[in-house]
Amino acid sequence: MPFFTESVLVIDNSRKFDSLCVNALSSLGYRDISHATFEDGIRTLSSFARFDAVVGHWDNDLPASAVSTVIRSAMSLAGCEGALVISPFCTSENIRLFRRAGVCAWVSVPFTQRDLDARLRYALEGERRRQHVAVPIERRQREPMPAFA
């Protein structure tokens, strides 16, 4: 099993040890997982905390605007690369709202670990894959070895 070194913040409405997302991410190999709830928001996080991704599991009766505000605040506080939302409420209005908040991947419920891993890897590496950055190649001219030495 691979061990991933990225730090992930999970925001949902359960305790950390009862969280479906925390358990799924830890079984995938993620070790640096922090947890917050929608009710607490980001008040429980340190202002010095840095995360590579935010995973929001939205399956309660909170409005979509409140959930997107919490995710946007967590992303701006932590300076993270991307966000992923796991939710059964997959409507075009919700997706537009979450895109404006910075969410770049969505997983519908029920989901498999393979779906979660693929979408989270896209959230973490998606921007880097789309950029066309030149890869530096060293092209030094070597002196040919003399035939007789």
Sole residue written with tokens 């989270």: 120
pTM of the model: 0.75
Kindly tell me if the per-residue pLDDT of 24 is higher than 80: yes
45, 46, 68: which is closest to 56 by C-alpha? 68
- In whole angstroms, give the CA distance from residue 76 to residue 81: 10
**pLDDT confidence band for 111 (50 / 70 / 90):** confident
Task: Please determine, for residue 121, whether its predicted confidence score (pLDDT) is greater than 80.
Answer: yes
Provide the pLDDT for residue 104: 87
Burial of 102 (0-12, 13-18, 19+ CB in 10 A): middle
- Mean residue pLDDT across the chain: 79
Is residue 65 classed as helix, strand or coil in its secondary structure? Answer: helix
